[in-house]
Structure 1
Amino acid sequence: MVSPSSYAFRSDDHSILTLDSVGWQIIQSAEYSFAGEDRPDCGHVIFQYTLSGQGILEYEQQRFTLDQGTGFLVKVPSRHRYYYTDNGTPWEILWLNLRGEEANRIWDLVIGQEGPVIHRDADSPLILDLWKLLSMIAEENVIDKYQLSSTVYEWMLTLVKTSREINKDINENSISIILKAKRFMKEHYASPITLDMLSEHCGVNKHYLCRLFQKSEQSPPLSYLRDRRVEAAVTLLRTTDLPIQDVGKQCGFESPSYFGKVFREYMSMTPKEYRMKKFEFPYDAIYYHE
């Protein structure tokens, strides 16, 4: 029976993919913090998966909450930091560190497709295979570098396969996510919505949400939001006497100057000019196709 433990391997053989370390750990101290630019041990890639609890990943000026069922991929060195904040609940993780050109290539591929944070169920092939690897070492005493290399390479193939399956044609779950995002933006266009807020509402990371939107709508989510805001502004300009700056504010534009800039891009005239051209533009609403 495997218990929380970790194993490290060292080799001067750089001709093959090598396992650097693997483990199962329960973290309870806020001293657990690793920055990708400060580590003395460079030249490897990391996969870390949350079994329970919660951690944080900061990655190139973005911040991700690492809840149960999420894993992250980073390279060392790179601009990232992952850490535990003592919230009373331990952070239970599985991790895997690899070395080799192929590992770096696979990490670039998956990060490009899903972003640095991925979602996999605990009973998914990727996580079950990681448990099998840990069991091989802990219970069967498998330490041969070639056998370990072969096993972790198969694990990486599973990572690539599942990543590509996630990024295939839009499926029912993806459609549900897109509709949920659209509904949220339609209902809250007047609020200062960010990609982080939208992705949190939809339960996916923002890189994945952007890819879904781009694939389905041929535009990013915030472009869709901007369309809805301009539509609302057109209606208010035509059907109310609200001051133009109030129209912009009620439609989610943070400043009058930005409102004017965006409106001109859409309508080729300022909000004031549009309001005055009532007879040339008799419609009370304009809709930008989704």
Structure 2
Amino acid sequence: MTEPSSYAFRNDDTSILTLDSIGWQIIRSSKYSFSGNERPDTGHVIFQYTLSGQGWIEVDQKVIPIPKGSGFLVQIPSKHRYYYRDQSQPWEVLWLNLRGEEANRIWKMIIEQEGHVIQREATSPVITGLQELLRKISEEKITDKYVLSTEIYSWMLTLVRTSREVTKDISAVTSSIILKAKKYLKENYAVPLTLDMLSEYCGINKHHLCRLFQKSDQISPLAYLRERRVEAAVSLLRTTDLSIQEIGRQCGFDSPSYFGKVFREHMEMTPKDYRMKKLEFPYDAIYYE
């Protein structure tokens, strides 16, 4: 299979696990946006994985990027929104949509273990298995609901197994390291920080520290730092008369243009616009954690 494609299946059999839809898609329009509480179709679950580019999901009062190598799990209906922003690179995704009590049970379990956003390599059996299922549907014309149910259940067991492998390493020692790193970042966001400085403070290799952050919070240490800096900037924009350039400097941004870029990524507007739009955005503080 060499071209993006998608397939939908319709039946009323609620006694078995059923595949509602599956596809490989390349998203280029910022009109691509789905809210979990506004969809007309309900009672199913979705897994969507990024092959290239990046999308975003708003869930659990957080805005989380979905870059290459990550995916999200959501239940319909639920409070979330996933979407694409205008970018130089399109968002290329694999996705599937399932129905059945077992799908909802497993989704809930994975979300409790890893969160809504999970990390998997493209070579993971979760992703290669999904690609193989799409190939079978496309090339072998598999449409029988019982065969598809068997294939999907096997795939979900792979998802469960890999989830347990990912989460079993989150120990008390790991939690202590993450808390120590977060405290340091919160207290020192205003000064220039590097991964080397943070890893030296925590006493572990920087690559290992990044892996621990991803497993624990589905975010990198530097992304966590940027969130703390944006939080501080939002507060200063509303509670002081400091210039925007000075606010950026006090919040640890090395240049006004970089401050503006990061602020727009998180708030979808410039620092000046946020300062001016007090009626539409009446918040003196916003937290991403």
Please give the TM-score of this superposition, normalised by the length of structure 2.
0.64
Q: Hey, what does 1:182 align to over in structure 2?
A: 180
Q: Hey, what does 1:62 align to over in structure 2?
A: 62
Written as runs of structure 1 = structure 2, the 5 A alignment for 1:95-114 is 95-114=95-114
Any gaps of 5 or more consecutive residues in structure 1?
A: 212-290
1:200-243 CA distance string (max 9 Å, x none):
x96569794269xxxxxxxxxxxxxxxxxxxxxxxxxxxxxxxx
Q: Distance in 2 between matches of 1:206 and 1:11?
A: 42
Q: Distance in 2 between matches of 1:61 and 1:25?
A: 27
| Runs of 4+ that moved beyond 3 A | 177-188, 190-193, 201-208
* Matched letter for residue 89 of structure 2: T
Q: Distance in 2 between matches of 1:161 and 1:58?
A: 27
Of residues 209, 222, 227, the one that matches 2:216 is: 209
Q: Hey, what does 2:121 align to over in structure 1?
A: 121
- Equivalent pair of 2:25/2:94 in contact (CA under 8 Å): yes
TM-align CA RMSD: 2.9
Please give the TM-score of this superposition, normalised by the length of structure 1.
0.64
Q: Distance in 1 between matches of 2:187 and 2:128?
A: 42
**Secondary structure in structure 2 of the residue aligned to 1:50:** strand
Any gaps of 5 or more consecutive residues in structure 2?
A: 192-197, 199-206, 219-289
Written as runs of structure 1 = structure 2, the 5 A alignment for 1:1-290 is 1-170=1-170, 179=177, 182-183=180-181, 185-186=183-184, 189-191=187-189, 203=210, 208-209=215-216
Is the alpha carbon distance of 1:186 and 1:14 closer, same or farther for their aligned partners in structure 2, counting shifts above 3 Å? same
Is the alpha carbon distance of 1:88 and 1:80 closer, same or farther for their aligned partners in structure 2, counting shifts above 3 Å? same
Tell me which structure has the larger Cα radius of gyration. Answer: 1
Q: Distance in 1 between matches of 2:161 and 2:115?
A: 16
- Shift of the alpha carbon at 1:182? 3.4
Q: Hey, what does 1:221 align to over in structure 2?
A: none
- Equivalent pair of 2:19/2:99 in contact (CA under 8 Å): yes
Percent identity between the two aligned chains:
56
Q: Distance in 1 between matches of 2:190 and 2:11?
A: 52
1:163-217 CA distance string (max 9 Å, x none):
011111458xx95x97577356447624489xxxx9xx96569794269xxxxxx
**Secondary structure in structure 1 of the residue aligned to 2:46:** strand
Is the alpha carbon distance of 1:142 and 1:187 closer, same or farther for their aligned partners in structure 2, counting shifts above 3 Å? closer
**Secondary structure in structure 2 of the residue aligned to 1:143:** coil
- Equivalent pair of 1:56/1:82 in contact (CA under 8 Å): yes
Q: Distance in 1 between matches of 2:167 and 2:210?
A: 16
- Shift of the alpha carbon at 1:62? 1.2
Equivalences, count: 203
